[in-house]
Amino acid sequence: MGHPFPIREIARQAGLSEATVDRVLNGRGGVRESTAREVHRAIADLDRQRTQVRLVGRTFMVDIVAQAPERFTTAVRAALEAELPALHPAVVRSRFHFRETGPVRELVGTLDRIARRGSQGVILKAPDVPEVTAAVGRLATAGVPVVTLVTDLPASGRVGYVGIDNRAAGATAAYLMGQWLGDRPGNVLTSLSSGFFRNEEEREMGFRSVMRARHPQRTLVEIAEGQGLDATQYDLVRAALERDPEIRAVYSIGGGNNATLRAFADLGRDCAVFIAHDLDHDNTRLLREHRLSAVLHHDLRHDLREACHEVMRFHGALPPAGPVLPSAIQVVTPYNMPTTPAG
């Protein structure tokens, strides 16, 4: 009978000698019928346990490439390293390529170096621009699967996306904003780190759509390109507040929340509702201090575990599965914060 298992593995499973297994598989005499059945049963057992058999002793080198503020990449590193022991019996080793900002050509250069050097997979958070899409295609041609994290590149050759449904997250933020502002007057500041990250664009669209439908009288004021960094975010927010004295609330899509709050404080302005994303170390502190109203959070450990599983499936180490479902959107307030550090 055909099978993918070495004689040594079948013998170990059946508790028989390799010579006996060899005789059964090759139809030689001198073997009892019950022994032959044990050999075939062992092969059937191994086939059912194919996933574990394939994983034993396998090492996957995965490159994590991300353009994001340090507070986010720190959370990504911690989440992945927390998940690595749970991926046994496979061994996943990781290389990190993080940057806060910079020219697209440098990011593309990193991806092309990985394609030349080789990797079992790339987990990628990057802007949705043609140069990055082309680089993902070159990785695919080189046999390196790419899984997008948090923000997608749907027109690229990536094998999957892990993260939340960003449009639904934006709609959730609009629902909360409308409930908490109620009938109080005031405009809402929406803040993106960059217009080139698809996740932020989708969050903004979800937010704007629900606000337009449910609260058409509420003016939305958009700022962008602060890169989620405090130094650039402060100037953008302060300028917006000076231009519009009616801004009373914030939906922070891209981060830089310390700077945003500082701009409000420096101008003596009150922020009635402040909704942000991701329970990183900055937002955890701000939420605990009641300076944020809520944080829309998702489990990065779950996302990175799923990303590693996608890489393993690509290499045949896990059985095929359906599309990865979006991560759950968690609404975290000062009163339901996790008791353990967010991952």
Tens of pLDDT along the chain (343 residues) come to: 567 788 988 888 778 899 999 999 988 888 889 899 889 988 887 777 666 556 666 889 899 999 998 989 999 989 998 898 888 778 888 888 999 989 999 999 999 999 998 999 999 999 999 999 999 999 999 999 999 999 999 999 999 999 999 999 999 999 999 999 999 999 999 999 988 899 999 999 999 999 999 999 999 999 998 888 888 999 999 999 999 999 999 999 999 999 999 999 999 999 999 999 999 899 999 999 999 999 999 999 999 999 999 999 999 888 888 888 999 999 999 999 987 645 5
| Dist CA 38 CA 52 (whole Å) | 20
- Sign (positive or negative) of CA dihedral 34, 36, 37, 39: positive
State the sign of the Cα–Cα–Cα–Cα dihedral 246, 248, 254, 258: positive
Distances (CA, A) of 259 to 26, 176, 234, 236, 248: 73, 23, 5, 10, 16
Distance separating alpha carbons of residues 184 and 148, to the nearest angstrom:
40
Distance CA 183, CA 214 (A): 12
pTM of the predicted protein model: 0.81
d(CA 280, CA 36): 59
Tokens 């310390």 sit on residue: 258
